[in-house]
A and B are shown apart, each in its own frame.
Chain A
Amino acid sequence: MNADRRGRALAAMRDAGIDALILGREANARYVSGARRLWLAGARAFSPGCVLVASGDVHLLSTSDDGVPPDIPIEHLYPITWNPANLMARLAAVPGLAAARTIGFDALTPLMESLLSSTFPGAELLDGQAVMLAARRHKLPAEIDALRHATLVAAQALDDAIAAARPGVRERDLLALFERRACELGTTVPAFEGHFGSVFAGDRELGAGDRVVLDVGVLLDGYEGGLARTIVCGNGRVDGNPAEDLFTTLLGAVKAGASGADLLAAWDGAGVARPTQPIVHGVGLGYEPPVIGDDDDELAPGMTISLRAEADGWVRRDAVVVTETGAQPLLHPMSG
């Protein structure tokens, strides 16, 4: 999978006329390198964490070969540094980078832009994020397998949280149990810390008959598995709730060539008020475009998207692979 992903990134570079990429976003670094590095929560400022040059060589910010695939030789690793001069010297020594006339970045900071402009005075600094998103857009079969695996872990851990959602249990106890189960199932890294009745799972105790929305996501080998369900405390899952019907409607509108407008039209046709959250977002190495509600992007086969139906306080969310004629769920069988 690493070589195939890297090949797609190189092809996207060629299409965009970009000679090299300097990447700071972990998902992009993962895509081109396959390396597993320490997970940290939140959006942090750009720092050059991974370099891909036109020859296909990857150079990676990593102090050791632990978690680094064997096709990246240790000579291509550079250690963490606090000294910008050391970092720039290391980048300048990457074969193929100094000669690059165009270098793509997935983000920048004012400081890094200034340093990199001085280090690579002959290069134009361009948008590399669009290049990476183009490469990542259509999933390889191995990526879809990884997404299925991640989705299954999320679903299993959520099942255990749902089983524990009895009257008197606090929201945060459900989050705690979900996180524990995800770890036992093999991933210690969330896509996001889940919604268990509230956006910030808190001290509130569930009461019998409370309707509770549970929305969760994990990353497994970097790939996102996530889903949302709505339960009634004491009764568990409720068949035929309005989000289920809306989800079915939305799913029916997904196919190659469908646009964001088509999906929104299907939603509107169900007579349900539009939600504040996007009704669709891409899933892959985390959260990806298209974000329908914000973008107006056409679906194509091999894209993996998360559909989120929300009606009258009920929510259902599941991820699917777009096919020529429709959509195939990532979770088999679709659990209610």
Chain B
Amino acid sequence: MRAQRQAKLDDALGGQDAALALLLGTTNVRWATGARVVAADQGRAGRVRNVALVVPGDTVPHLFTHTPEGVPPDHPTDHVHPGVDLETDAGAGSLVAFVGDRIGARGGRVLLDEWTMPLRAAWRSRLADVVVGDAAVNLMAPVKLVKTGDELACIRAAQHLNEQAMLDVLAGLRPGLRQCDLSGVFLQRVFELGAHQNTVDPIWEVMPESVASGPRSVTGDLVFPTVTTERVLSPGDVMWVDTGITLDGYDSDFGRAWIVGAEPTAAQRDQFRMWREVVDAVLAITKPGVTGGDLTRTAAAAYGGDRRPWMAHLYLAHGIGVDSAEAPFIGTDLGPEFDESIVLVPGMVFVLEPIAWADGTGGYRGEEIVAVTDDGYELLSDFHYEPYES
């Protein structure tokens, strides 16, 4: 898997006329090296981050790590280096010196995914004449877009683990529990089942009676997600749940609507049915050559009514891989032309997450993970729709 990745990186760097790529982002480095780090809050993760320097023609990137336990055993030792703290001048200076040596006589620009401020200062003092391009846009988004069979298997395994844990959360769901109690059950189960990390604070949003009675929104649309608190769940609450973990470097993304301690009403079942129709319509056209624009138009037509079946600030679908939301993003405020530019190819994966909404019902939101195949699609998610459908 890693040899394929290095080849993809080499090709992409060549196409960008770039000499090197320097990667700081947790998921970018994970993709490029396969190395694991301890899941941590953003600030800590930044101080003890892995850093990858991709040199075309090498078998693997140079890896700077504070976590030797997470380095793949076959990563050549001459490409493993002690961790650098890029929030300090000393750490940034030593990395810039190393990069400068590797640029040497090659010349050419460098692609980078993030500047820490000390890194930016060190670069300006040592490598001011080296042009730096954006690695997220020009390198990582393209190389991550189409998944290999191994990657699809990893996403499926992560999703399966996530789903197993959610079965247990749902089994224990009852009025009187707090949102944070559901997180507790979920986190306990995912770690017992062997998840490598939890990736997003689990979401158990109790939907409002109406858009107008919910939290105030900048867009005027529904608000999602809201952050989990100690809110106590009441009978009949409709919750939109959303959880995600990482296993072997790949992410899951679970989304369903659940009802606390009650069966759905007829109107609530209608919401699920409308959501299901949107999903079925999109899946029916999903195959190579179809565009993101085709998907959004199909979803909107299937839903009908006076709104699109996704929220104004989000999207109909997003990709998934080492990031829980990565390219392709379909139905965003980048607009219809951008959606039209996205052409499905085999190996592309997207999380389809339409919503249905009518005031007074709590609506329905669910997520399905869809992998594009040679002649259609396969689902990487597999979870029931109780209590809306049994």
Binding site for B on A (CB under 8 A): 25-27, 36-46, 62-67, 74, 77-83, 86, 105-111, 113-114, 127-130, 172-173, 175-177, 179-184, 186-193, 195, 198-201, 203, 219, 224, 285-289, 291, 294-295
Contact = CB atoms under 8 A, between A and B. Distances in A.
Nearest to B179: A188
A43 B46 contact: yes
Contacts of B41: 26-27, 39, 41, 189-192, 219, 224, 286-287
B202 interface: yes
B200 A109 contact: no
Contacts of A64: 214-218, 223, 226
A79 B227 contact: no
Given A42-B42, A109-B114, A127-B121, 20 more contacts: A25-B43, A25-B46, A41-B26, A42-B37, A64-B217, A67-B227, A82-B329, A108-B114, A127-B120, A129-B116, A179-B184, A179-B187, A184-B184, A188-B201, A188-B202, A191-B41, A192-B38, A286-B44, A287-B43, A291-B85
B180 A183 contact: yes
B117 A176 contact: no
Interface stretch (B97-105, B131-139, B278-286, B343-351): B131-139
A192 B40 contact: yes
Contact of A188 (B116, B187, B191): B187
A45 B27 CA distance: 10
Interface stretch (B54-62, B87-95, B289-297, B379-387): B87-95
Contacts of B313: 63, 79-81
Contacts of B91: 294
Contact of A110 (B112, B202, B228): B112
Contacts of A105: 117
Contact of A180 (B37, B187, B225, B312): B187
B305 to A, nearest CB: 22
B43 A113 contact: no
A109 B134 contact: yes
Given A110-B112, A127-B117, A38 B27 contact: no
Interface in B39-72: 39-47, 49, 67, 69-70
Interface in B191-207: 191-192, 194, 196-203
B16 interface: no
B341 interface: no
Contact of A83 (B44, B188, B189, B332): B332
Nearest to A87: B333
Contacts of B40: 41-42, 190-193, 287
Contacts of B69: 198-200
Contacts of B114: 43, 45-46, 107-109
B42 to A, nearest CB: 5
Given A25-B42, A64-B215, A110-B112, A200 B191 contact: no
Contacts of B190: 176
B365 to A, nearest CB: 15
Residue of A175, A184, A219 contacting most chain B CB atoms (<10 Å): A184
B219 interface: yes
Contacts of B115: 46, 107-110, 113
B11 interface: no
B185 interface: yes
12 contacts: A36-B227, A40-B42, A40-B199, A42-B25, A43-B25, A45-B136, A62-B218, A79-B218, A129-B87, A203-B194, A287-B43, A289-B87
